[in-house]
Amino acid sequence: MSARYTILIPSRLQSTRLPDKPLADIGGKPMVVRVVEQALQTHAAAVYVACDDARIAAAVEAAGQQALLTRADHSSGTDRLAEAVDLLGLPDAAIVVNVQGDEPLIDPALIDAVAAQLASDDALPMATAAHPIHDAADFFNPNVVKVVLDARNRALYFSRAPIPWARDAFTRTDGVQTVAAAQHLPEQLGALRHIGIYAYRAGFLRTYRDLAASQLEQIEALEQLRVLWHGYAIGVHIAAHAPAAGVDTPEDLARVRALFTQQNS
C-alpha cells in the first residue's frame, strides 16, 4: 500500500555557485518546475514549493502548481519546511518528504520509497535513503557521506570517514592500517552511501527546529547527526542504485540541460 504523504520542495533564490538557481532554464522551464514535475509522478497527495522569493512562487504558479512563500531568514531547508508545515496546518502524524529544489532528475520511485519507509514504522520520526558503495574511491572520498545501520535498517551513524572500517582487509602485510592498503572493497563490507532525501513526521519537523546543534554535526558538517545526537531514530531505505546527481554548479546545469535536449530530440 502506498503511503499518503505531502511533498515539500524547499527553494532558495540565492546560491553561491549558481545565482538564481531555481529559475535556471532547463528545456524551456525553470529548474524548480522540473523538480515539481518529477514530484507529481509520485503517489503523494500534494506537492508544494516552499520558497523565499516571490519570483520563485510566480514561476511555480505560472506552471499551474502550488507554492508557499516563507521567510527569507531561515538558516536551513529543514527550518523552511517547519514553517511550511505550519502554514499548511498539517497534523503532527502527517508524513512530509523533503525533495531538494535542485534535483530535476530525481526518481519518483525513490521519493515514494522513502515515504513508505517512514510509514512502515509508527515509532520513526524520520527516514532517508542510501545505496551500496562498490567503488573504493567513493568509499574513501570524504565528499561521499557514508551511513551504517542497525538490524532494523535504522541509522547508527553518518560520516564522511570510511565506515565501517574493515580492519583486516585494510591492513598491510607489515601490520600498518592504511587507506593506501585498500585498492578494493571486501565483498562483505556492505558500505552504504547516504542519499540526501528525507521524510519526516510533521510533528517532528516542529520539534527539530528547537533542537540545539550538536558537536558531531559541526565536526562532520552533517546536519542529520543532530537527530541521532538527541536520541531520535532515522529509518533508512536501501536503494539498488545511486540517484541522478543534482545541480550545484554551472557545469552540472550544462549536463542536465544536455540530457533534457537528448530526451526531447
Model confidence over 184-216: pLDDT tens digits? 788 789 999 999 999 999 999 999 989 999 999
Tell me the C-alpha distance between 254 and 207, whole Å.
Answer: 39
Confidence band for 172, pLDDT divided at 50, 70 and 90 = low
Domain with CATH 3.90.550.10 in the chain: 1-106, 123-195+204-243
Q: Is a pLDDT exceeding 60 seen at residue 65?
A: yes
Average pLDDT over every residue of 162-185: 72
- pLDDT at residue 167 in the model: 84
User: 37-46, 170-179, 197-206 — which is least confidently predicted?
Assistant: 170-179
Question: In whole numbers, what is the pLDDT of the chain averaged over residues?
Answer: 91
Tell me the C-alpha distance between 118 and 130, whole Å.
Answer: 14
Which of 3.90.1580.10, 3.90.550.10, 3.30.390.30, 3.30.390.10 would CATH assign to domain 123-195+204-243?
A: 3.90.550.10
Cα distances from 130 to residues 29, 69, 153, 170, in angstroms, run 30, 31, 10, 23
Q: Provide DSSP, 230-248.
A: TT--EEEEE-SSPPPP---
Average pLDDT over every residue of 80-89: 94
Confidence band for 72, pLDDT divided at 50, 70 and 90 = confident
Average pLDDT over every residue of 220-233: 96
Q: Evaluate whether the domain defined by 1-106 bears CATH number 3.20.20.10.
A: no
